[in-house]
Structure 1
Amino acid sequence: MSIELTVVMPCLNEAETLAICIKKAQSFFEIHGVEGEIIIADNGSTDGAIQIAEQLNAKVVHVTEKGYGSALKGGIEAAKGTYIIMADADDSYDFAALLPFLTQLRAGYDLVVGNRFKGGIKKGAMPFLHKYLGNPVLSFIGKLFYGIKIGDFHCGLRGFSKEAFLKMNLKTSGMEFASEMIVKSKLKNLKITEVPTVLYPDGRTRKPHLNTWQDGWRHLRFLSLYSPNWLFLYPATFLIIMGLISSTLLIINPIQIDNIILDIHTLLYTSSFVLIGFQFLVFYCLTKIYAVENDLLPKSNRYDTLFKYINLERGLVLGVLILIVGCGLSYHGLYLWKRTDFGNLNPTSTLRIVIPAVFTILLGIQVILFSLFFSILGLKKNS
């Protein structure tokens, strides 16, 4: 008979709990009449875990590349089941209670994620910082950035079809593998759902492999880098709009709020906002191109629009026009200085011309340079 379900457990010195996890999974197969297999993705165990797995007739796959994600990928790639359920081999998840996952997979969902906050977290099963800060914050960011209706982004118990896994084309090798799986499923328009899951204290006496701050940062970094809109585009839009509006008002007249007067010194900062915003916009475009061309993000209509409306000719024309404005303002400032026989000037009135002049010259040059570099990237796309 063909194998319907493969249970994959990453393993690095899990001799204390591996046997009970394997026996629970085997019990699930027997009780529910599931044709299944168990794969232990070993990442270099030296405590006898391999021998335990072999004695219990589990298939051992040796993965030499270190990391949680690497171990799981090695085990999943070797799986023969139509569906795959993965979880840690530390007895923190009940492998005898996999039916809700398998039911949803049979119903047509591509990815089924456990939700520990709905299912219950037993006393001592999750550190305080993970329960009340790390997981809620990272899950909120994931939902905000990607619009994924999953309440527990980092639950280690999850199921998916082998076909869906191949579509995800996962790249990461560390703990952020869990976040990448959910994000890629959303970006690939796969069907995602969640089921309540109970988290138990793990049965190990040693410390877990998870590093709270380092692995938390890796998850946050991944979520940010895979969302160039939130990382670059939205800040760029905010800075450019705020900078242009406030700079225009300050060029016309100083702004007084109660006893506070905003004048040319503030104008220096507001004009800088526009330049910084433009830098964010440049990085958005470059990040988008890199991610799409390296198959980290799917190609979208917005991506094609980048090359349709942003090209060398338009960029050069816009950059030169901005540069001309800057040169014109500089000439006007020089003319005012000449009228005083190149003597002392009133800084308040003069800098209202000089600051926009310097700003437009810098912006014009940046637009020209960006257009040249962007056109080089476009050569690869059109080749």
Structure 2
Amino acid sequence: MELTVLMPCLNEAETLATCIVKAQRFLQAAGIDGEIVIADNGSTDGSREIAAAAGARVVDVTERGYGAALAGGIDAANGRFVIMGDADDSYDFSALAGILQSLRAGNELVMGNRFRGGIGAGAMPFLHRYLGNPVLSCLGRLFYRVPIGDFHCGLRGFSREAIRSLQLSSPGMEFASEMVVKSGLHGLRIDEVPVTLSRDGRSRPPHLRTWRDGWRHLKFLLLHSPRWLFLLPGLMLLLAGAGAMSAIAFRWVELDIHTMAYAGAAITLGVQMLLLAAFTRLMGALRGWLPASERKQRWASRLRIEPCLIVAGTLFLTGLAMSLHALELWAAVDYGELDPRVTMRWVVPSVTILAVAGEILLAGFFFEALRIPARQAPPLLRGASSDD
């Protein structure tokens, strides 16, 4: 079978039959060997019966959530290609030729772009159209270098085999972002075609919750990009702090020890963020939710306790030497009153270096802990209640 038209469904009795008829019209007009699958997520309004009566195949998905429904439908699909879309009549299932043509050309993920195809009056809330979608799509392009202008279009097509190989796992609305992000991370061929978004035909509010689901999408984008979440901000903090501390220590600028203290904090936080970037990258590769290329595997192999011990030991001796020099300055005045503007120029850098040494030492042990083989977690650690 060439094509499965997949619609997730939760109480879509008002519009479901219309969507199925349009999809059937497309399959028949184009002479496509295909099917229509309704991934029902616990409807109580007769949607299942409506779908079956209209000639669609109904797949029951017990795990709740938009992503869970789609994942269940993808697993049950028989088509080589899958085109998915919401069952609220906001997308025209009789106009899928552009997506299918791109899939036939060899693309493995074909996204619809509502901003290029047209958005009907009242079809998209103001915040979604002018803030949420543009900002999140921009971040997605920046973080993952995928040529997509509309990250969250609900109408998209893909190679069933290619998408299943990504092992998508998000149960909620962020499933849409996960599909695009992991397709980009794993080098799938991605294309985009214009599609039209119309006002949906439901009388009830949509399942989407603007701020909650927007935050979940943003969180997903950040967590899967340790470079932008930790690495680059941490590197900027480290360089800015080290530059400021050096300039103050050598009196290149007319700033004093108070600014040096802030510079020390920036260095400490910057190093911590760099370590978190390394932790996240290694953990993602070991757990399979970030790709592990040969280059990255070589890099990860160096993240062990022995190099960390060497670096931490060198920094510790440096910080200790600076602390001893500060002690000498105190001894020179018979351990009496000190001029903090002199001694703190040694104390603040030494304390900063000693703190960084401690961070790197502990990080070495954590790198080793991450490599311990995973075992089945007990119920409480998997999120089950104490009554399970």
TM-score by length of 1: 0.95
Tell me the SS of whatever aligns to 1:331: helix
Instruction: Look up the match of 1:259.
Output: none
Instruction: Look up the match of 1:213.
Output: 211
Deviations 1:42-87 (A, max 9, x none): 0010001111011111100000000000001111110001111000
Contact kept? 1:307, 1:378, Cα under 8 Å: no
Tell me the SS of whatever aligns to 1:255: coil
Count how many residue pairs are aligned between Structure 1 and Structure 2: 374
CA distance in 2, matches of 1:169, 1:239: 35
Q: Percent identity?
A: 52
Match of 2:75 among 54, 61, 77: 77
Contact kept? 2:283, 2:370, Cα under 8 Å: no
CA distance in 2, matches of 1:152, 1:16: 27
CA distance in 2, matches of 1:85, 1:24: 13
> Given the alignment of the two structures, is residue 268 of structure 1 paired with residue 261 of structure 2, yes or no?
yes
Q: Which moved more, 1:138-147 or 1:238-247?
A: 238-247
Instruction: Look up the match of 1:47.
Output: 45
Q: Which amino acid aligns with 1:209?
A: H
Deviations 1:96-117 (A, max 9, x none): 0001111111111101100000
Q: Counterparts of 1:108-187 in structure 2 under 5 Å? A: 108-187=106-185
Q: Which amino acid aligns with 1:157?
A: L
TM-score by length of 2: 0.94
Instruction: Look up the match of 1:366.
Output: 359
Contact kept? 1:111, 1:161, Cα under 8 Å: yes
CA distance in 1, matches of 2:89, 2:29: 19
Question: 1:379: Cα distance to partner?
Answer: 5.8
Q: Counterparts of 1:220-369 in structure 2 under 5 Å? A: 220-253=218-251, 255-256=253-254, 262-369=255-362
Deviations 1:242-284 (A, max 9, x none): 111111111111623xxxxx21000001111111011101111
Contact kept? 1:254, 1:263, Cα under 8 Å: no
Q: Which amino acid aligns with 2:167?
A: N
The alignment yields a C-alpha RMSD, in angstroms, of: 1.3
Deviations 1:188-215 (A, max 9, x none): 1111001000000000000000000000
Question: 1:300: Cα distance to partner?
Answer: 2.2
Distance change >3 Å, CA 76–CA 268, structure 1 → 2: same
Contact kept? 2:137, 2:151, Cα under 8 Å: yes
Distance change >3 Å, CA 249–CA 184, structure 1 → 2: same
Question: 1:380: Cα distance to partner?
Answer: 4.9
Instruction: Look up the match of 2:56.
Output: 58
Distance change >3 Å, CA 15–CA 379, structure 1 → 2: closer
Contact kept? 1:8, 1:40, Cα under 8 Å: yes
